[in-house]
Amino acid sequence: MDIRKRGILTPLRLGFNEEFGTLDGNHRIAVAIRLGLESVPVILLREPLVL
């Protein structure tokens, strides 16, 4: 599979709330940046605030 031709196929997972944010897909975003990809798929998830 050629990421340069097909792009990132598995979405990055970005979870967030008022206190923090998490990113699952650090290696995929690093590859996308290195290859100069203009966009990548992302799933945004609102995480519960844990007290």
Q: Which of 21, 19, 1, 22 is nearest to 10 (CA)?
A: 1
- Give the residues across from 29 on adjacent strands: none
Which of 8, 17, 18 has the alpha carbon at shortest distance from 44?
A: 17
Helix H or strand E segment including 29: helix 26-35
CA distance 37 to 44: 19
- Give phi and psi for 17, each to the nearest 5: -155, -165
pLDDT at 1: 66
Domain boundaries, the chain: 3-41
Q: What is the pLDDT of residues 2-51, one digit of tens each?
A: 888 899 999 999 999 888 888 899 999 999 999 999 999 999 999 888 77
Q: What is the pTM of this model?
A: 0.74
